[in-house]
Amino acid sequence: MRLLKPNDISPSEITPPEIYRERRRFMQGSIALLGGAALAAAGEPQAATRIAGVRASAYKLDEDKTPYKDVTTYNNFYEFGTGKDDPAANAHTLRTRPWTVRVEGEVKKARTWDIDALMKLAPLEERVYRMRCVEGWSMVIPWVGFPLAELIRRAEPTGNAKYVEFVTLNDPKQMPGVRSRVLDWPYIEGLRMDEAMHPLTLMAVGLYGEVLPKQNGAPIRLVVPWKYGFKSAKSIVKIRFVERQPHTTWMAAAPSEYGFYSNVNPQVDHPRWSQARERRIGEFLKRDTLMFNGYGAQVASLYRGMDLQKYF
């Protein structure tokens, strides 16, 4: 991986104009049909909204970005269905304002944050990350967000805080997938404290310079680029600091297939398929999967001495 300087890639190079214009027209037309006036009265944005004041970041890749259309129409978000196109079709029912995130547990400063206050907690920056799905596909996405470490420092964890647990929205009225028993809701994920504090770990509030689309985990989600995508919890409503390792949703559903760490590791296969190769969305041929998704230089030291076959 080669990290580029912030001025190596301009914002205009990230989104092809024709894709951006096509998507904006689609969003505007769809929301109008769904009752744009009512949504506006409720404080919802009527179309993709640019985020002001986003600064460039050193976290950039010399790789093609996955088109906005693919990022927003091919993804996993089981609260809106198990199909890859279900979130884009069903997530219009999600209400992202008002929205709060409760920070609690082993901290000195528990607090309930309003989403708009969270977006001002630290300077927002654009980070271009590789993202790898456990199913074998991958993307390169320009996220907008702030380091999770900024929120952790303000919470002032106690010495008992060894892990961070993330709890997502659990509302069957807004989320049709929650009405099924495909998973045990709410969706819960977790990180070890040093993983959560790592500079790469991001709280994302947007992508491609715009407010995070509902189908991608609006209004705020976790992004951990060296782990498989399911570790990046979406639509977060609670962050808890705990002493014991959280029992995450996928560990509960299939413990032999989804471990707590879930680091991208081409040497450890999923029981039902190999993890050695991946298909980048938009490409025909597969490519070799990189250890830690290509972020080994930054994160391998976190797991020094660990048996990564056992702690998968």
Whether 311 is covered by a domain: the verdict is no
Whether 78 is covered by a domain: the verdict is yes
Quick one: pLDDT at residue 43? 36
Q: Assess contact for 233 and 278: CB atoms under 8 A.
A: no
Query: pLDDT: is 7 or 196 the higher one?
Result: 196
Q: Where are the beta strands (DSSP E) in the chain?
A: 100-105, 111-114, 125-132, 137-147, 163-168, 188-192, 202-207, 210-211, 221-223, 236-242, 277-280, 287-288
pLDDT above 90 (res 188)? yes
pLDDT in tens, 61-96: 999 999 999 999 999 999 999 999 999 999 999 999
Q: Give percent of the chain above pLDDT 70.
A: 85
3-state SS assignment for residue 146? strand
Phi-psi region of 152 (alpha: psi -120 to 50; beta: other; left: phi over 0): alpha
Q: Which residue type occupies 117?
A: A
pLDDT above 90 (res 38)? no
pLDDT band for position 55 (cuts 50, 70, 90): very high
pLDDT band for position 32 (cuts 50, 70, 90): very low
Q: What are phi and psi of 32, to 5 degrees?
A: -60, -40
Residue-wise burial string across 107-122, b where 16 or more C-beta atoms lie within 10 A, e elsewhere: beeeeebebeebbeeb
pLDDT in tens, 255-308: 999 999 999 999 999 999 999 999 999 999 999 999 999 999 999 999 999 999
pLDDT band for position 185 (cuts 50, 70, 90): very high
Whether 255 is covered by a domain: the verdict is yes
Tokens, residue 267: 């040497």
Q: Assess contact for 201 and 223: CB atoms under 8 A.
A: yes
Q: Assess contact for 191 and 201: CB atoms under 8 A.
A: yes
pLDDT above 60 (res 312)? yes
CATH number where 57 lies: 3.90.420.10
- Rounded mean pLDDT, 12-39: 39
Quick one: pLDDT at residue 155? 98
- Rounded mean pLDDT, 241-255: 97
3-state SS assignment for residue 241? strand
Q: Which has the closest alpha carbon to 118: 101, 106, 139? A: 101
Whether 233 is covered by a domain: the verdict is yes
Whether 139 is covered by a domain: the verdict is yes
Whether 148 is covered by a domain: the verdict is yes
pTM for this entry: 0.85
Domain of 26, in residue numbers: 6-303
Q: How far apart are CA 57 and CA 294, in angstroms?
A: 18
Q: Which residues pair with 204 in a beta bridge?
A: 145, 221
Q: How far apart are CA 206 and CA 84, in angstroms?
A: 20
Whether 104 is covered by a domain: the verdict is yes
- Rounded mean pLDDT, 164-178: 98
Work out how many domains the chain is built from and give that number: 1
pLDDT above 70 (res 6)? no
Strand order in the sheet with 100-105: 111-114, 100-105, 236-242, 163-168, 188-192
Query: pLDDT: is 22 or 227 the higher one?
Result: 227
The mean of the pLDDT values for the chain is 88
Whether 312 is covered by a domain: the verdict is no
- Rounded mean pLDDT, 85-111: 98
pLDDT above 80 (res 179)? yes
pLDDT above 60 (res 29)? no
pLDDT above 50 (res 10)? no
Q: How far apart are CA 141 and CA 231, in angstroms?
A: 16
Quick one: pLDDT at residue 47? 58
